[in-house]
Amino acid sequence: MGNKFICMMKKDGRDGNGSKSKRMSDRSQRKLRAEEELLHRQALSMAIQQHQLSQRFEGSMSRRIGGSTSSRRRKLSDPFSNGKQQLPEFLDSLKAKRFVLVHGEGFGAWCWYRTIALMEESGLIPTALDLTGSGIDLTDTNNVTTLVDYSKPLIKFLEDLPEDEKVILVGHSSGGACISYALEHFTSKISKAVFLCATMVSDGQRPFDVFAEELGSAELFMQDSKFIIHGNGKDNPPTGFMFEKQQLKGLYFNQSLGKDIALAMLSMRPIPLGPMMEKLSLSPEKYGSARRFFIQTLDDHALSPDVQEKMVRENPPEGVFKIKGSDHCPFFSKPQSLHKILLEIAQIP
């Protein structure tokens, strides 16, 4: 009987070693359940973030997503103190809380995902656009021949904007030409315009002229068959261009994280050539009276600091800000510093 009882205890796990094994097993199971629960929470959080991101860009699927010469110069570097601590003091008094984010050549609304998240956390209203033939817009880039064609989503957004509402435009790289066009034709709807290492051209200049010192003359550039696209056949003028991946990494992403570079490599599209070669007509009465600000990127290989400084000298904005350690894509390499500058510009009376 005693032996039988001992055997039953061992079988039921109620002896000393059995109890210890059971406790260890229970702890292991609890740990496993806790880990699974954590994974589920993380997956749910990622799913929610992805859903929110898709909603931020949902308007993009229907072509929208949702002069003073004084110079105030700033040098900023990460990290940046939490914008949510700064914003409540002035958010209610801001006349323009909506930022319209306009990407540069080859990019799309997707490139602003960090900036969008930071702005929404701060209580601002970001709207990112896919220009024609960019991002998820299905237009063939070979058919985008003019700056007006390229800028149609921005034009449509500003046309639909209520008369009593103003926005702050932010243009990156060649997106500077698009916001320059907007400043000329929708002056009353734009509170401020921010040129982010962007083509801030003068009257009669082409966006390409800004890059000419880096890329060479237009004639030489279009002779380089490695990245020129002839969408209408070799016997017709080129319609676009697309740098090779290694060129892109060296020119645009020399300070960016690997995951953002990977995102860009998967998402960037050919660049329509027509809008880059078009001369802008900008008047002193409209474009010249707009409030412009320029953000310089000091480790930029696509648009060197010297070229950016030259643009500022030739076409002086109201304010100039600088981001140390940023490549040509500060929304990747220095998102907090960029966010802090945009908040500061929003607060300027």
pLDDT of residue 212: 77
Concatenate the DSSP letters of all residues of 266-319 into one string: HH--PEEHHHHTPPP---TTTGGGS-EEEEEETT-SSS-HHHHHHHHHHS--SE
CA dist., res. 210 & res. 221, Å (int):
13
Rounded distance, CA 331 to CA 338, Å? 7
Over residues 300-314, mean pLDDT: 94
Contact by Cβ (8 Å): 178, 172: no
Query: What mean pLDDT comes out for the span 247-252?
Result: 92
Q: Quote the pTM value.
A: 0.75
Does position 217 have pLDDT exceeding 70, yes or no?
Answer: no
pLDDT at 283 (0 to 100): 97
Q: Is the pLDDT of residue 243 over 90?
A: no
Which of 131, 192, 141 is CA-nearest to residue 345? 192
Helix (H) or strand (E) holding 208: helix 207-215
pLDDT given for residue 30 in this prediction: 62
Residues in the chain: 349
pLDDT at residue 96 above 70?
no
Res. 7: pLDDT tops 50: no
pLDDT tens digits for 152-205? 999 999 999 998 899 999 999 999 999 999 999 999 999 999 999 999 999 999
Q: What is the pLDDT of residue 237?
A: 87
Average of per-residue pLDDT across 239-249: 89
Residue-wise pLDDT tens digits, 15-24:
445 555 555 5
Sorted by sequence, the CB contacts under 8 Å of residue 349 that are 6+ apart come out as none
Contact 146, 278 (CB under 8 A): yes
176/323 Cα distance (integer angstroms)? 18
Q: Can you tell me which residue has the tokens 């039988």?
A: 4
First to last CA, the chain: 93
| Band (296; pLDDT cuts 50, 70, 90) | very high
Q: DSSP states of 30-97 as a string?
A: HHHHHHHHHHHHHHHHHHHHHHHHHHHTGGGGGT-----------EE-S----HHHHGGGTGGG-S--
- Half-sphere exposure for 279 (CA within 13 Å, toward CB): 5
Just list the catalytic residues: 173, 300, 328
Are 132 and 139 within 8 A, CB to CB?
Answer: yes
- Please tell me the least confidently modeled range out of 49-53, 89-93, 112-116: 49-53
Domains of the chain: 66-347 (3.40.50.1820)
- Nearest CA to 111 out of 98, 139, 130 is that of 130
Which of the pair, 88 or 184, is modelled with greater confidence? 184
Residue listed under structure tokens 């290492």: 197
In whole angstroms, give the CA distance from residue 180 to residue 201: 8
pLDDT tens, 28-73? 656 655 554 554 444 444 433 443 444 444 443 333 333 333 344 4
